[in-house]
A and B are shown apart, each in its own frame.
Chain A
Amino acid sequence: MRTRESSRQTRVAATEWPRDTEGGAMRARTRYIVPLTMAAALTAACGESGSSGTGGGGDGGGTEAAGEACAPVPGDQLVVLEDDQQLQNADNIIPAVNAAAAQANPALLESLNAVSEVLTTEDLIEMNAAVDVERQAVDEVAAGYVEEQGLAAEVSGGSGPVVVGAADFTESQVLATIYADVLTAAGFDASVQTAGNRELYLPALQRGEIQAFPEYLATVTEFIEGDDATEVASGDVDATVEALQPLAEGYGLVFGEPAEAADQNAFAVTQEFADELGVSTLSELADACGDGSLILGGPGECPTRPACQPGLEETYGLDFASFQEYDAGGPLTKAAIQQGEVSIGLVFSSDGALAQG
């Protein structure tokens, strides 16, 4: 599996292009194209089937043609199909705290656990969208969340300065700011310090230059474990936390409770596609799409990575008609799903685009 750093870089780099070429116009165009394409598709379907049924129930009738049941369906709204057999590593948000700082004042970890308790992936999606799409300031989005969840009232007992670290992408900035706001509410004198990548900030956390960091469970577990050959993280949150605790102890860190919120590889389809087949999980998709008509979209490495195409085929028994190469959860893949070029594509589970209409 890719490390989070590289996936971030891909994502950032890839995210630039639609904006560069007038993102607004592109989105608007999609809106117009979609109804047209759908109309065209329906017309075509009616033509093929001899159009005996005028009721437009062509959806069900469409299955008769072998290998067409799971062909792409265009649509604006993307939905993630649940990874019910835990193919993806559990990259849940988990507070990482310097061991000495955690011992000095238990309120530090308790306050951050209060965030983990309420934070969901939908919250992440909404906040990422608020910053990346609606262009709201990180501080305001974070402060709004803390207030909305009433987190300030739940924490207390803090004192002294605390520096919360943040990586240089939106989600990490928002989470670190939420941590800092909650710690301030608890009585700490909290500030946020940005640091580029894990190779820099984790040693800084270890040394105590920063005291807390919103980490990703599976990725940080693998990072501390350090050996690329062995994989200790898995799709099971509890098992991964269990594997992480002794590793963290040796590294001079303490981890809090993992949040429900996760930012990991996920597979998205259009709402129309999901509705038509009545699927909400990848297992259901495998049951509904046994005829091998699925088209998969994702980054170039997908056909060889165990968490991508081979995993989908082996773990879920999915059968793909073809694979289309785009980017790693970036605008190309998302546009391909929306425009009906692929049935299902790789995205990041907390992507702000999942909140767009």
Chain B
Amino acid sequence: MLNAVTADVLAADAAPNPWFDLSYVTSNWDTIVGYLGEHVRLTIGAVVLGALIALPLALLARRSRWLAGPVLGLSTLVYTIPSLAMFAFVAPITGITATTVLVGLVLYSLVILVRNFLAGLQAVPADVREAARGMGYGPARLFWQVELPLALPAFMAGIRIATVSTVALVTVGVIVGHGGLGQLITGGFAANFYRAQIVTGAVGCVLLALLADLLLAGAERVLTPWSRGTRA
């Protein structure tokens, strides 16, 4: 089976292993873009779903202090579950799919989003709400036309933090093979500590987080033109 065969095997010289290697990026461009796409999809999916779940929870929590405690407590409790364990818990149900990662990410985003949404809603002055009600605003109109614009800066702050934290957390999805750029980081470790691959994954994550934050900051500026004057 195994003979002393290797004498005739091609001698292989170790290739250099620099931290930064542009040729790695160019020659593996398709792979990198593929992982980047997955990373972006997971991040957007998690933050959007998280916001959709967090908003009703925040509205619920605002109604009474009795509800606020459990809602905030539960989302914080979920956040304390180690991410590795979280994916291990979810994986038997949803399998080794991107859904597993998405479920974990949404749960983690809740703690940030619910708290910020609630803080935003609570910061709406009571007399403003009362004035709106006095003008005949129903609950829906009150929320969309009065509360939401006033709470928007706090909402956006929460979404920005959640997005940046989600970009970083996606990498833990490597456990089920859907870790976006995290695949490059662990792949580099597994491939005899391939530095260029690890750095590409890590720098990619950082750049993606910065870009996302910048875009959201821009969106916030566009959405809240009235606050621009005070800031400048």
Contacts and interface: CB of A to CB of B under 8 A. Distances in A.
A78 B15 CA distance: 19
Interface in B68-116: 91-92, 95-97
Given A168-B174, A209-B95, A260-B1, A77 B7 contact: yes
Contact of A78 (B2, B6, B31, B193): B6
Contacts of B195: 19
Contacts of B5: 79-80, 121-122
Contacts of B194: 135
A357 B14 CA distance: 10
Interface in A236-295: 260, 262, 266, 271, 274, 280
A37 interface: no
Contacts of A15: 192-193
Interface stretch (B59-67, B134-142, B183-191): B183-191
A24 to B, nearest CB: 6
B193 A121 contact: no
Nearest to A86: B1
B177 interface: yes
Contacts of B2: 80-83, 121, 262, 266, 349
A134 B15 CA distance: 5
B9 interface: yes
B102 to A, nearest CB: 16
A333 B75 CA distance: 48
Contacts of B15: 133-135
B232 interface: no
Contacts of A19: 17, 192-193, 195
Contacts of A125: 6, 9
A195 B10 CA distance: 31
A262 B9 contact: no
Interface in B1-59: 1-7, 9-17, 24, 27-28, 31
B175 interface: yes
A19 B4 CA distance: 27
Is the interface on chain B under 10, 10 to 19, 20 to 34, or 35 or more residues? 35 or more
Contacts of B9: 122, 125-126, 354-355
B193 A16 contact: yes
A7 interface: no
B1 A355 contact: no
Interface string A318-357: 0000000000000000000000000000000100101111
A305 interface: no
Interface string A173-187: 100000000000000
Given A19-B17, A135-B17, A169-B190, A196 B1 contact: no
Contacts of A121: 1-2, 5
Interface stretch (A62-70, A107-115, A197-205, A219-227): A197-205
A357 B8 CA distance: 10
B11 A357 contact: yes
B176 interface: yes
A168 B27 contact: no
A12 interface: yes
B12 A357 contact: yes
Residue of A16, A78, A168, A262 with most partner-chain B CB within 10 A: A168
A186 to B, nearest CB: 23
A4 to B, nearest CB: 14
Contacts of A130: 12
A170 B14 contact: no
A259 to B, nearest CB: 11
A189 interface: no
Contacts of B91: 200
Given A19-B193, A135-B194, A196 B12 contact: no
B14 A24 contact: yes
A125 B2 CA distance: 12
A203 B6 CA distance: 37
Contact of A170 (B10, B11, B192): B192
A200 B4 contact: no
A168 B14 contact: no
Given A19-B195, A200-B91, A355-B9, A170 B190 contact: yes
B189 A352 contact: no
A274 B3 CA distance: 11
The 9 closest A-B pairs by CB, nearest first: A357-B11, A132-B192, A194-B177, A19-B193, A135-B15, A79-B4, A280-B4, A129-B12, A195-B177
20 contacts: A19-B17, A23-B14, A24-B16, A77-B6, A78-B6, A79-B5, A82-B1, A82-B2, A82-B4, A121-B5, A125-B6, A126-B10, A134-B14, A168-B174, A168-B177, A170-B191, A200-B91, A203-B92, A355-B11, A355-B12
Given A80-B2, A170-B192, 14 more contacts: A19-B195, A79-B4, A81-B2, A122-B5, A133-B13, A134-B13, A135-B196, A168-B174, A168-B190, A173-B187, A200-B176, A204-B95, A260-B1, A355-B10
Interface of A: 12, 15-16, 19-20, 23-24, 27, 77-83, 121-122, 125-126, 129-135, 137-139, 165, 168-170, 173, 193-196, 200-201, 203-204, 207, 209-210, 260, 262, 266, 271, 274, 280, 349, 352, 354-357
